[in-house]
Amino acid sequence: MKSRPSPTAIVRPFRPGDLSKLLPLNNASVPAVNELTAEDLLDLVNSALVCLVADINDMPAGFLLCIGDGTNYESRNYRWLSERFSNFAYTDRIAVDAEQRGQKIGEALYDSLFRHLAGSGRSFVCEVNERPPNPGSLRFHKRLGFEEVGKADHGEKAVVYLQRPPQPADPDRQP
């Protein structure tokens, strides 16, 4: 029996009509990300450096929300990174529909982010939960070239901070 090929994710920027589809994706990913209201998610999108959405068959199957340095974002993890790094792109959250996992959607989102910010000199930073443990996310990020740069214990959660060097400019990319 032949298996069907997985549909390919098409990554694009956030559009206003996406909010109602991304909120359930986000909240289904708790505790890897924190639960949000629609207003909270919209505030994050509006303050983001970039919010990318991965579509499969014209339906959002995942998203990545990235915040630049120098904002007043109140996340303790963002503050920790801001105290130690500058000129960065912070992945505040990445969420993929549970039914679509294993189809390299997260990788497609990050590849698009890296291309989007190529040549900007921004390093890429994020955190991954150690408590509650998220070993799959840690393996995933390390496979993409992220390396550990610190840890923090917040009581109910403990995290490991990761950084990936800036993406060089692509000389073949058209402006």
Which residues are CB-contacts of 157 (< 8 A; sequence separation ≥ 6)? 31, 129, 131, 132
Does 125 score more than 50 pLDDT? yes
- Tell me the per-residue pLDDT of 65-92, one tens digit each, with 9 for 90 and over: 999 999 999 999 999 999 999 999 999 9
CA distance 120 to 14: 21
Of 118, 135, 133, nearest in space to 169 by CA: 118
Average pLDDT over residues 4-33: 88
Per-residue pLDDT at 173: 61
Domains of the chain: 10-164 (3.40.630.30)
- Tell me the per-residue pLDDT of 139-165, one tens digit each, with 9 for 90 and over: 999 999 999 999 999 998 999 999 999
Higher pLDDT, 54 or 101: 54
Per-residue pLDDT at 16: 87
Of 70, 128, 119, nearest in space to 94 by CA: 128
Of 168, 145, 40, 147, nearest in space to 93 by CA: 40
Does 5 score more than 60 pLDDT? no
Q: Residue by residue, what is the 3-state secondary structure of 15-28? A: CHHHHHHHHHHHHH
Give, rounded to a whole angstrom, the gap between the first and last alpha carbons of the chain: 45
Residue 138, both tokens? 């840690």
State pTM to two decimals.
Answer: 0.91
**Which stretch of DSSP H or E encloses residue 39?**
helix 38-47
Query: Is the backbone peptide bond immediately before 132 cis, with ω within 30 degrees of 0?
Result: yes
Which residues are CB-contacts of 160 (< 8 A; sequence separation ≥ 6)? 127, 128, 130, 138, 148, 150, 151
Q: Supply the mean pLDDT for the chain.
A: 92
